[in-house]
Structure 1
């Protein structure tokens, strides 16, 4: 491979069939390895959020950190703020330095944050470590989503993205169940039980890191950045593994793409591409991210606190585990429909229907018990989980490859900053204010806001959605490097 005097690969205009070769592959053990190595990070996120939600009473107690309900909401907002900043910083680095370097680095940042959280000795330190943990996981969203979409064949991309994002709820269910024995003072001393909850996230993170080191760099990223020989080698190796695993004969790639290679793309060019060339898609992604971020961060971050404050629940683990399982089953059951029925129909249907049901829940909130509220939530979020996952799928596939990680980061950060930071803060204040009178209907306004945002996102998808099902990423949005090659 030719290189410049600085050691960077020499750039030229090339024609390659790498995208078509990756998209025509049958499903194999290689793809499962990608899913396990990269996709399981959402289990970590679910574990983190659920543990914090279940630790409300433990963190408020003298054996904890003496937090208030507002502090619990603030901790959620700090975590989400870290996630937003991490997504933006690491998203830009992912597009510049490659997917693999960053999905290793971001996981290490997460591991450091969650281990150090276990040693919290005061609220300020706890908030700081929640920020670091969020920083790592926010970076994961950009690095991992871009790598997954560039390695998974087009005909499976929708269902796999929905399933992977839905696996968040496996972590949520696991975290909820783990807190039951760890927060039982008869089994584990109160001062150490909540700390062990955070340490368990690090154990799972190390296991993921062990698998992840075997996931290759994205061949799509490589050939655009002047490393086409390495790209060809990786794809040939993947093809050999797939043939050996499946015994199938691979069809000819059929199509190719011509690109003008480049090392970096300026932020100005990225902004111009996103806002000038794809304004409708930009509005679509913002609507989807804001709606799902407010819904989930507002409801789920404070669900445990709601049960304990208004409905007399001591241990929230079983309730949240049921809630989480319904979310995962929703993503599992509805995910394939995003490839068969289509993106636009499924995104709008899941957003609008879950929003309507959430509004109904707000209307009848005063008559619900802990169990009926949980069952109501299970029905709502069985539908909403697939819709929320489709926001990440949409942002990761409808913009040019060179901007993919940064676009994911941008929409995640903006949507989450608007919905994910305001949601926990609002609900924390609503719970604290309503808790003085014991009237749970005082938090219904949060349900109505979440419902309006979800319904709005579904309506926007009806008019601005993109039919990306079973299509190549390069067909959905032409790479900037391909535009440059055409304009030469």
Structure 2
């Protein structure tokens, strides 16, 4: 049996020392645009312009959201596994193509069952994007900027949601389009925008960190050389590499499921608890509110479907601003402190609005303002959930762990649209929805407490300092070997 070659690598140190440049903006736009597409998709479905044509009531509209979310679960699991074994870049165009087809075909729906199938397909494409792209972004962006950039990118979901609201106002306006035609055209907005990403992604390199751990050290070094040359040509100076940051790694290959289980539940059980908790809580709350907000405005405040989009634009902008404004503090004040604050504040504000809603003292405008304030904080915390899961586990299984935790969160969250759609009813009784809001508030507050107590202090640290790669040779430090054995930790703080 041939011996696996060991290599000394400075790839992580070289990537983390890079100054911010146009290259990094390319990564942000080329990869981060997926969240805009997701927000666009969800908003167009939430506007439920198709409901009349397809004969769908509140529960059926909620079910459309559930199928989309279940599709995301399927896509994340499939593409997440492939992204760790075949590379990040190889999955970009595939997952994007799946989304483009699924969204476009849904625009031709003639019955609810047909609509559900293709919403599932579109969700599978977006789910694949979440797993592969979160990994690539965190592996390429310098550690100094990783928190704010990741949170801002995930927060652009709400830019897409706002775009979807504007599109809904236009396409659902029966003075401009026939009722049966407008909603169909709206489903082609995302695919048209998605086609533009194909060109951008051709110029995005494979993750050098992924290459480093898959027996492609020479490719990784050439890759970093090209990135550094590109940044120098932009006029930036690049400092020397700290040789003491070198690591010795060897090719690891495909990670067995047994190894993944041992990493998650034996080596890092608290991190697994934090990741699952964050994903479940934010997914449940967002899906509960987001997929049914139009129904709430229409049934309780008599807001027509086209006008409901106007209220949502304000709501989406509040979410976007939360991620953009608060993201910086995750790098300066720290992850745990900010996770606790954003989750708990969001839950308390939503709880306050629940009591006011039940008392009947809110109108469409004031209810929307409470949502804006609550989700100003919630959006930063929800975006940080993806950041947290991506950075606290070993590189070789990063995409898969994202997909598993994301899938658990979405599976639980997928229940929310149908549940809250049934709680809304015909808008005559506020009691059921009030208790639904109380539940959502409690879930979010619990998530904040758990994240604050068990979270990981990762701000400004290299990914390899947060979690040892499985391929690390020097002093295994609590890592897991390819055969599934877990060696004794030698003073490592990264084994729980």
TM-score (norm 2): 0.93
Q: Which consecutive aligned stretches of 4+ in structure 1 deviate over 3 angstroms post-superposition?
A: 483-488
Q: Of residues 443, 466, 472 in structure 2, which corresponds to 1:476?
A: 466
Residue 449 of structure 1: how far off its partner (Å): 1.1
- 1:32-431 to structure 2, matched below 5 A, reads 32-54=25-47, 56=48, 58-61=49-52, 64-254=53-243, 255-314=245-304, 315=306, 316-365=308-357, 366-418=360-412, 420-431=413-424
RMSD of aligned Cα (Å): 1.4
Question: Is 2:18–2:238's contact at 8 Å kept on the other side of the alignment?
Answer: no
Scaled by the length of structure 1, the TM-score of the pair is 0.95
Deviation at 1:142, TM superposition (A): 0.3
Shift of 1:60: 2.4
Provide the C-alpha distance between the structure 2 equivalents of 1:318 and 1:325, rounded to a whole number of angstroms. 11
Whether the aligned pair in 1 keeps the contact of 2:395 and 2:470 (CA below 8 Å) is yes
Residue 453 (structure 2) aligns with: 463
Deviation of 1:262 (Å): 2.2
Equivalent position of 1:454 in the other structure: 444
Count of aligned pairs: 472
CA shift for structure 1 position 484: 7.9
Could you say what secondary structure the match of 1:232 adopts?
A: helix
What's the CA shift for 1:246? 3.3
Deviation at 1:486, TM superposition (A): 4.1
Higher helix share: 1
Unpaired runs of 5+ residues, structure 2, are 482-496
CA distance in 2, matches of 1:219, 1:261: 13
Conserved 8 A contact 1:258-1:485: no
How far apart are 1:191 and its partner, in Å? 1.2
Cα deviation for residue 450 of structure 1 reads 1.0
What runs of 5+ residues in structure 1 fail to find an aligned partner?
5-9
Alignment match, 1:7: none
The answer (yes or no) to whether the contact 1:117–1:198 under 8 Å persists in 2 is yes
Residue 13 of structure 2 is aligned to residue 20 of structure 1: yes
Counterpart CA distance in 1 for 2:454 and 2:348 is 21
8 Å CA contact 2:10–2:246 kept in 1: the answer is: yes
Q: CA deviation at 1:211?
A: 0.8
CA contact under 8 A between 2:155 and 2:324: conserved in structure 1? Answer: yes
CA distance in 1, matches of 2:409, 2:171: 34
C-alpha distance in 1 between matches for 2:208 and 2:388 = 21
